[in-house]
Amino acid sequence: MADDVLIVERRDNYATITLNRPEKRNALNEPLMKALDAAITSFEDDNEIRAVIVRGAGGSFCSGIDLAEAERLEGGHSPVNIERVFHRLANVPVPTIAAVQGAALAGGCELALHCDIRVAAEDLRMGMSVARVGLVVPYDFIRKLIEVIGAANTAQILYTAEPVDANRAVHMGMVHEVVPNAKLGEAAVTWAERVSANAPLSLRTMKKSMRRALSGAFTTWHDDVLEMARNVRLSEDAKEGIRAFLEKRRPKWKAK
């Protein structure tokens, strides 16, 4: 339905989930995260599903967390904590394909990176812009960036807070393919059909093997980093950054 914040469509061997807040560039709020969490649950034990496409309605894939709900979704105060939901998405037992166009920023960038395959439209702008508003990328999300694009490219993405275009994204390994905007949906379906034509038990076992091989970084001790991140979220700079963003002005940082 047009009023649903998330639309799930089933095909023979794959499913498509569409973020459906185009008027907000598909910014992540609690209802949308709850719906995404429920969709992931529905796929986990569905043996007919062999691939999942994740896409955004309108001109953007996802502009990140709705700043009005940033503390709830990132800070663990919501039953649909963004890190937990994205971790579940990464561990869906079948391959996932992100079809990304327009803005794929901050949480939207991470949403795409938590999928296995990413196909991009030519107008893509992908990056982690949180430093511009005095916030911080969660530890697990930095780990995901390093996993996908390596430490050097992660440094560029995090420290400049500037998005990269589609050509740079494909060279960095952030996306697998770039296509004209009008061909994005078709390209994502081609990937899904190519994947879902293969043996389902093979796909699930290889997906689990890949996730297991990469899981060690989750166990690295990082309690100190989590405490630093909590302090950043509660800082005066974070409040100033969000105010400045909403007021469309440059923030005045005080490092406190």
pLDDT of 141-189, one tens digit each? 999 999 999 999 999 999 999 999 999 999 999 999 999 999 999 999 9
Q: What is the predicted pLDDT for the residue at 127?
A: 96
CA distances from 174 to 44, 59, 183, 234, 251 (A): 25, 19, 19, 31, 29
Structure pTM?
A: 0.86
pLDDT of 107-131, one tens digit each? 999 999 999 999 999 999 999 998 9
Q: Which residues contact 204 (CB under 8 A, 6 or more apart)?
A: 93, 94
What percent of the chain is helix, strand and coil (3-state, nearest 5)? Answer: 50, 15, 30
Angle at 40 between CA 219 and CA 121, to 5 degrees: 95
Q: What is the predicted pLDDT for the residue at 77?
A: 46
Interstrand relation of 125-127 and 103-105 (parallel, antiparallel or unpaired): parallel
CA distances from 239 to 67, 153, 242 (A): 11, 28, 5
Query: In order of start, what are the domains of the chain with their CATH numbers?
Result: 6-202 (3.90.226.10)
- CA–chain centroid gap for 173, Å, is 15
CA distances from 158 to 15, 91, 136 (A): 32, 25, 9
Cα–Cα dist 120/99, whole Å: 6
Only one residue has tokens 């589609």, namely 166
CA distances from 188 to 203, 221, 233 (A): 18, 37, 36
